[in-house]
Amino acid sequence: MRNIAETMTKECITISPMDSLADAAVLMREHDTGFLPVVEGNKLVGVVTDRDMVTRGLAKQLQGSASVKEVMSDDLTTVKPNASVDEAVSLMASRQIRRLPVVENGELKGIIALGDLAVQQVFVSEAGDALSGISEHEHRESTYH
């Protein structure tokens, strides 16, 4: 059985909690992502998504100079590098998340995304089921909130 360390993306674009929302937006645009791990040194302290920036930043009328810390999520779901891919997929489905930070002793080691699993054809049906569940959840959120 494959583990996360064999499948995860190891080279992560990260940002500091004290960097600005404008800095985060530029990194997201340059790297075509809507997700950035927030680190202090190598320690993962949160994540920020494009959705966080809109729902927590723009909705509060924060400016681009506001810090990432003001909008980041710090209640994180993570997985260890030796976890199985099946464990990660199950966790992603149950928590309704598309990306899962891989952490060991508080240090960010990589990111596993549903896309990584699908591209590598690892547990494709489970990844598809998780994605379907997440998409349904997001549709309900946008419809009812």
How much is the pLDDT for 78? 95
Q: At what angle do helices 85-95 and 124-144 cross, to 10 degrees?
A: 10
CATH code for the domain in which residue 117 is found: 3.10.580.10
One-letter amino acid of 110: G
Give the domain range for residue 105: 4-144
Mind listing the pLDDT tens digit for each residue in 98-122? 899 999 999 999 999 887 776 555 4
Name the domain count of the chain: 1
Which tokens is 46 given?
């949160």
Mind listing the pLDDT tens digit for each residue in 43-84? 999 999 999 999 888 778 888 888 999 999 999 999 999 998
Which residue shows structure tokens 């100079």? 65
Q: Is residue 18 helix, strand or coil? A: coil
CA-closest candidate to residue 42, choices 10, 73, 88: 10
| pLDDT over 50 (residue 28) | yes
pTM: 0.79
